[in-house]
Structure 1
Amino acid sequence: MKKCIVIGVTGGIAAFKACQLVSNLKKKEYEVHVIMTKNATEFVAPLTFESLSGNRVSVDTFDRNFEYNVQHISLAKKADVFVIAPATANVIAKIVHGLADDMLTTTFLAASCKKIICPAMNTGMLNNPVTVENIDKCNQLGYMIVEATSGLLACGDEGKGKLADVQTIEDAIEYACSPKPLLGKKVLVTAGPTQEAIDPVRFITNHSSGKMGYAIAKAARNLGADVTLISGQTNLEPCPMINTIQIKSAKEMFEEVKKYASNQDCIIKTAAVADYTVKEPALNKIKKQGETLTLELSKTDDILAYLGKNKQANQILCGFAMETENLIENASNKCINKNCDLLIANSINEKDSGFQTDTNKVVIIRPQSITHLELMSKEELAYRVLEECFKGEDYVTHN
């Protein structure tokens, strides 16, 4: 069943960003309804949102062109999530004090669903003690706040007040829409590549983008888990509401994993960790000399083996394996030898699968079973991996 998202758009220059938000939500097959304040229509025409959402835009509480019903009540009942983006200082002040003098504030007050506020305004207005207090009241009322970002504002000022990125708002909506079967669970995820220094300029690394690990961390967070993400260097955006620890080397990752591992309900190790590191990195940049250069490498700590050996009672351990040949045999041996409950294996030779891609095709390997999955997005796979990890528990699948 499609989730219904009501988007409230208020009168600010950031109203144009709501167009992209509505478009993206429709592509994800949400049912989207837009309510605009009259001031918002000065920035974006209602017809734009009607074209993007496929639904009539509400502006006037007493619009007689609608079929007879109490429109603000029907939308309030239908909404699974109510988002105001952008939210001006004026509208924020109204909603925290229960004022309902237009279609947006009336519907918002009547709605009992999860609510998300995305402030956007001049820096001075945002920092005004009255606005600060009103946003704090929103938090106290249980509304999720997607904070404004810093940058050059439309008025020419530089500072905090820009509407958050559309992707960040979408992320908050997905979190609000998701069931919370993992509430009370602790999940540790490792992600990305490691970097092993050769000298102060160069290092050894791999092609991991971290996308799979970040997708799993976000999915676990959406499902209610308390998530710790230990990540190598990536180009990915930070994950809100996730305890993220940045590392560089395999040794740093090992030390951080040891700190957190013992009290986790589930550990999912997607990181591509170097098997070898330079034994003695040069203190200064190595200059070009001769036709060859020999580096002496030493073995790094085997993090997955350590976790398997020190696995706590009732703790779930999930490993990942990237192979170029003999996928099932190599991954099955790794699953058993490292004492994993399950292992997610994929071949770098598969099209649209593996490093740097947005999709993945994997095999789920357990000591007693092998399950082949079709090609899917890494976001979809993330939920499937979590479902497999918590198999047998009271787990609600992602809708």
Structure 2
Amino acid sequence: MRKLLLIVTGGIAAYKALELVRLATKAGYGVTAVLTKAGAQFVTPLSLQALTGNKVYQELFSLTDESEMGHIELSRAADLVVVAPATADILAKMTAGLADDLASTLLLATDKRVLVAPAMNVRMWEHAATQANMAALARRGVLVVPPDEGPMACGEYGPGRLAEPPAILSAIEAFFADGPLKGRHAIVTSGPTHEPIDPVRYLANRSSGKQGHAIAAALAALGARVTLVSGPVNVPDPAGVNVVRVDTAREMRDAVQAALPADIAVCAAAVADWRVEEAGQKIKKDGSGQPPALRLTENPDILAEISAPGPQRPKLVIGFAAETEKLAEHAAAKRARKGCDWLVANDVGGTGIMGGDENEILLLTESGTEAWDKMDKTALAQKLAARIGEFFA
């Protein structure tokens, strides 16, 4: 039986932890619960004990608990540690390495993987400190079930609602899945980048992030630990995937480098090739009728950098090429120029192709070129992930 250590922290969403326990035990998991002092304001130890069938732990300095098991043993007896809901406070403690109560001490002492399901007010979730904490935890390999968007108990609307228990359970099951990529780390880039022209304008493209996000989800479903580095998109985060949000190409390059080492890199993002050299004050019309002169400079080449030989080069690097003409010719030249192992190329010259729901590609590998028929982006992602699984098998 797989064992979960469930840490329930404070917040109105704590009541959903009871449903998560019910679903997890029904699925065959053994659950032991830790309830923080704030969490006990919303759910009772008796409720958790009745549903888990196990003692609920609350106090760090418990003479009985320390003599029977101790916080060190408790932190390592489970196969996975789940924090649901994970408040801004516990996420900040995890990032800083604080240990001032049982929950934070367990999280610092555990040698097992940790999965967090954040829940908080939308302003707290969007605050730079919380986002920085999430990025730091993702780099350390903490799994994340992103919060949902919707109305909140405080009356506000936006991202911050605890993911529904079935989604959290799906992420738990994905972690335990014995897929062909179990134990592998994959980095996936997705979406566009926004390169500032001035404080109110930017250079961008029509990438939706649908393909990159689908690939991240497909790799996670095969057992990989996935770090998704995403530019600005409007598609939901895949469950069980660590998401690092960026805006510019330079931020994306830094996030990719910070996520290394990895076994797999899939560079699906449509990174802007150029950026404005100086993005100062808002550009104003001067009455001459002439457009302003924008001095452009080249952005870092993320695919070429990660493909370059070196101790941290992933074993398999896959690039993407969006072309409008001479698809096979330009794709082959790009693969050779960048030094990646595989290259996925598609023709985006038609209307509705870039940002749409379907894709038709050429896959270039060391063995040659394959033409894949048009299919849904999710199906394509699953097919590509299966090929990656075969590569590592």
Give TM-score, length-normalised by structure 2: 0.61
* 1:193-204 mapped onto 2 (5 Å cutoff): 193-204=192-203
CA distance in 1, matches of 2:314, 2:198: 43
Residues 4-57 of structure 1, C-alpha deviations (whole Å, 9 max, x = no match): xxxxxxxxxxxxxxxxxxxxxxxxxxxxxxxxxxxxxxxxxxxxxxxxxxxxxx
| 1:316/1:150 CA distance change after superposition, 3 Å | same
Q: How many residues align?
A: 284
Change (3 A) 1:92 1:288: closer
Whole-Å separation in 1 of the counterparts to 2:244 and 2:168: 23
Alignment partner of 1:238 is 2:237: yes
CA contact (8 A) 1:115 1:144 kept: no
User: What CA deviation, in whole Å up to 9, does each residue of 1:210-246 have, x standing for no partner?
Assistant: 1111111111112111111111111122333322111
Q: SS of the residue aligned with 1:361?
A: strand
Please give the root-mean-square deviation of Cα atoms over the aligned residues, in Å: 4.0
Matches within 5 A, 1:1-399: 89=18, 113=28, 127-130=42-45, 133-134=48-49, 158=154, 164=163, 168=167, 172=171, 175=174, 179-261=178-260, 263-282=261-280, 284-289=281-286, 290-291=288-289, 292-310=291-309, 312=311, 315-349=315-349, 353=353, 355-394=354-393
CA distance in 2, matches of 1:386, 1:132: 41
Deviation for aligned residue 1:112: 6.3
Q: Deviations over 1:110-133 (max 9, x none)?
A: x665699xxxxxx99882242785
2:333 alignment partner AA: N
Aligned counterparts of 2:39 and 2:239: Cα–Cα separation in 1: 25
The worse-fitting range, judged by mean Cα deviation, of 231-240 and 201-210 is 231-240
Kindly tell me: are residues 205 and 245 of structure 1, through their superposed partners in 2, closer, same or farther at Cα, counting changes over 3 Å?
same
CA 1:198/1:115 → structure 2, altered by over 3 Å: closer, same or farther?
A: farther
Q: Which residue of 2 aligns with 1:71?
A: none
Q: 2: distance between equivalents of 1:204 and 1:260? A: 26
Q: CA deviation at 1:145?
A: 8.4
- CA-CA distance at 1:350 after TM superposition: 5.3
Could you state the TM-score of these two structures normalised by the residue count of structure 1?
0.60
Alpha-carbon distance between aligned partners in 1 of 2:229 and 2:363, rounded to the nearest angstrom: 23
Q: Distance in 2 between matches of 1:176 and 1:141?
A: 10
1:47-78 per-position Cα deviation (integer Å, ceiling 9, x unaligned): xxxxxxxxxxxxxxxxxxxxxxxxxxxxxxxx
- Alpha-carbon deviations, 1:139-161, whole Å to 9, x = none? 9597988769679xxxx964999
Query: Post-superposition shift, 1:169?
Result: 6.3
Identity of aligned residues (%): 32
Q: Taking structure 1 as reference, are residues 206 and 392 closer, same or farther at Cα in structure 2, changes over 3 Å only?
A: closer
Cα distance 1:141–1:268, how it changes in 2: closer, same or farther (>3 A)? closer
Deviation digits for residues 225-276 of structure 1 (CA, Å, limit 9, x no counterpart): 1111111111122333322111111111112222233x21110000111111
Distance 1:92 1:243 in 2: 21
Return the offset for 1:296. 0.8
Structure-1 separation of matches of 2:310 and 2:334: 16
Greater Cα shift, 177-186 or 209-218: 177-186
Shift of the alpha carbon at 1:391? 3.1
> 1-side partners of 2:211 and 2:302: how far apart?
18
In structure 1, how many angstroms separate the alpha carbons of the residues matched to 2:200 and 2:178? 46
Structure 2 counterpart of 1:50? none
Structure index of larger Rg: 1
| SS at 1:258 equivalent | helix
How has the CA–CA distance of structure 1 residues 329 and 112 changed in structure 2, closer, same or farther, with 3 Å as cutoff? same
